[in-house]
């Protein structure tokens, strides 16, 4: 299932706001570390979902987040049966998080691919505002 562009923009804007605008030279790991501080357990109550990021490039790799009824786990690597998968480059992910690249533009130009549930993707920005 493909996501609509406005939803992508909202999702990536919220996700990256958790990082407090990553620096140009930030790594994806620093972006994910920044997300940890914004977790909202109250918004994650009753949610059971998995998000996967597949990032190419020299600082790329795979990261995941799993939310399970008010708690979360985050890690590097792959997770089984993700609800949503984001595919982009390491540089584009950091650029989206520092406001240099709009998620909607990345999606429309093929620099960002999103696979999975739109409703689960929307939940991510509530849980990690």
Residues 3-58: tens digit of each pLDDT: 454 555 555 555 555 444 556 678 999 989 988 888 999 999 999 999 999 999 99
H/E stretch holding 115 reads strand 113-116
Q: Is 84 exposed, middle or buried (0-12, 13-18, 19+ CB in 10 A)?
A: buried
- Phi, psi (degrees; rounded to nearest 5) at 37: -75, -15
Closest CA to 105 of 87, 92, 89, 90: 92
User: What fold, for 5-127?
Assistant: Nonspecific Lipid-transfer Protein; Chain A (3.30.1050)
Q: Is residue 82 very low, low, confident or very high in pLDDT (cuts 50, 70, 90)?
A: very high
pTM above 0.85, yes or no: no
> What separation, in Å, do the N-terminal and C-terminal C-alpha atoms of the chain show?
24
**77 Rama sector, left if φ>0, alpha if ψ -120 to 50, beta otherwise:** left
Please say whether the beta carbons of 18 and 128 come within 8 A: yes
Percent of the chain with pLDDT over 90: 59
């Amino acid at each position: 299932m493909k996501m609509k562009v406005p939803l992508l923009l909202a999702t990536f804007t919220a996700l990256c706001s958790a990082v407090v605008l990553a620096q140009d030279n930030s790594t994806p790991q620093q972006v994910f570390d920044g997300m940890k501080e914004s977790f909202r357990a109250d918004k994650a109550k009753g949610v059971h979902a998995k998000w996967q990021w597949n990032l190419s490039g020299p600082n790329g790799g795979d990261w995941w987040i799993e939310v399970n009824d008010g708690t979360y786990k985050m890690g590097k690597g792959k997770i089984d049966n993700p609800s949503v998968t984001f595919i982009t480059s390491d540089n584009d992910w950091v650029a989206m998080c520092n406001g240099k690249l709009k998620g909607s533009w990345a999606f429309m130009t093929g620099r960002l691919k999103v696979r999975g549930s739109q409703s689960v993707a929307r939940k991510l920005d509530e849980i990690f505002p």
